[in-house]
Amino acid sequence: MRQTYNAAHKKSFNFQHYKYRSLTIDQYHQVSDETLDHIDETLETIGEEVDLPGFDIEYAQGVMTIKLGEHGTYVLNKQPPNQQIWLSSPKSGPKRYDFDKEHKKWFYHRDNHTLDELLNEELSEIFGQSIDVLEGFDV
């Protein structure tokens, strides 16, 4: 039986391969900040190496905006009340990611893909090279 998420309760939820277990607020902020910081640093480096007209990345106060010219704009933002990272993609639309502590992955419960898998696939296509937004990242 699937249970509905309630931020006030510390319950375990099964989503196929990945599992959501609530974090303390400090744990959530640490892992979400480290994840977004790493994505920001990776994309800043790639942006310096690749000529993509209209590329710009801004990250402040838990909101990252990735402008990719004619390819559109991605937005990633922290959602502390739900302990999620939300993504708005011009290619695949909106998604809400929960954190699996065991696998150390942000995953989307509807199809069980991870945040980095989706970003890697879509951004690799846009930049014309293989991209791993969380390469070398360990929470």
Is pLDDT of 34 > 90? Answer: yes
pLDDT band at 5 (very low <50, low <70, confident <90, very high): very low
pLDDT tens digit sequence for 40-82: 999 999 999 988 999 999 999 999 999 999 999 999 999 999 9
Quote the pLDDT of residue 73: 98
Indicate the CATH number of 14-124 among 1.10.260.40, 1.20.1630.10, 3.40.605.10, 3.30.920.10: 3.30.920.10
Q: Which residues contact 76 (CB under 8 A, 6 or more apart)?
A: 36, 39, 63, 64, 66, 85, 86, 87, 88
pLDDT tens digit sequence for 10-30: 333 434 577 777 899 999 999
pLDDT tens digit sequence for 82-130: 999 999 999 999 999 999 998 899 999 888 899 999 999 999 999 999 9
pTM reported for the whole predicted model: 0.84
Question: How far is Cα 115 from Cα 87, in angstroms, rounded to an integer?
Answer: 8
What is the longest distance spanned by two Cα atoms in the chain?
50
Question: How far is Cα 133 from Cα 39, in angstroms, rounded to an integer?
Answer: 5
Any idea where the domains of the chain sit in the sequence? 14-124
